[in-house]
Amino acid sequence: MEESGYESVLCVKPDVHVYRIPPRATNRGYRAAEWQLDQPSWSGRLRITAKGQMAYIKLEDRTSGELFAQAPVDQFPGTAVESVTDSSRYFVIRIEDGNGRRAFIGIGFGDRGDAFDFNVALQDHFKWVKQQCEFAKQAQNPDQGPKLDLGFKEGQTIKLNIANMKKKEGAAGNPRARPASTGGLSLLPPPPGGKTSTLIPPPGEQLAVGGSLVQPAVAPSSDQLPARPSQAQAGSSSDLSTVFPHVTSGKALPRLGQRKEDEALLSWPVFGA
């Protein structure tokens, strides 16, 4: 992967101390207890930058920003940065002067959180470098990458649990179908134990009763009723006889009880006849 032309800052810590370390006596690692921790050789600011795949640990002056030492890091964890065995706040880094000369010095942080950030910044950078290398390889050879196989292996089975697929025992049957009328008016069945109400459909429609269609009776309109006699016709006996045939001309209508009284008088015996 080609290196980018710009430099990015990964981490900045304003307080770091530099220590002279004795040569390593064994392969067990470095121990911070062997350093003179109360007498640091230099104190200043630490800055981690990245340019392409390389990371750089730079020790700079707090005020002027002048570079004191620089440690190029091409791999982490590796020989360029090592942790001590007896503390999490101290590390051993390999510095270079640009002329090929190298030296190992010890650095330490007063705060444990600063040491944690220093460690995580280097881990994240080289994790990103590893992912970029894998993407570049897959782009060059796309067929060599792992393929996703979603098929069933030999003898592999699955189990599906789908609820409400079987009909429960004792479930109610199909609801009773309602009779549909051809006139576009459907009647709901009467409630149990209630009285049936009569619904008069609109004119021109038929009513469904008992499965048969019945034409409802239509009241006569006002123009079909017989004409009422006017006041002038009410005084003439001839007109009254036309409307009421049992009324004779010049005679008054008998009362309802008068006929029975007359029949009773005629049935009495006549004495002295």
Give me the pLDDT at residue 50, please: 93
C-alpha distances (whole Å) from 84 to each of 34, 69, 91, 110 are: 11, 20, 6, 15
Give me the pLDDT at residue 116, please: 95
Residue 173: strand, helix, or coil? coil
Give me the pLDDT at residue 42, please: 94
Identify the CATH class of 7-140. Answer: mainly beta
Tens digit of pLDDT at every position of the chain (273 positions): 445 578 899 999 999 999 999 888 777 889 999 998 999 999 999 999 999 889 999 999 999 989 999 999 998 888 899 999 999 999 999 999 888 899 999 999 999 999 999 999 999 999 999 998 888 887 777 666 566 777 788 888 888 777 766 655 555 555 555 555 555 566 677 777 655 555 565 665 555 555 555 555 555 555 555 555 555 444 444 454 554 555 444 555 555 555 555 555 555 555 544
For the chain, the domains span 7-140
E strands of the chain, at which residues? 8-19, 42-51, 54-60, 67-73, 81-83, 90-96, 102-108, 207-209, 212-214
Give me the pLDDT at residue 27, please: 79
Cis amide bond preceding 202, omega within 30: no
Give me the pLDDT at residue 273, please: 47
Vertex 125: Cα angle to 123 and 127 (nearest 5):
70
Give me the pLDDT at residue 10, please: 94
Q: Residue 116 — φ and ψ, nearest 5°?
A: -65, -45
Rg (CA), the chain: 59
CA distance 22 to 31: 10
What's the predicted TM-score (pTM) here? 0.51
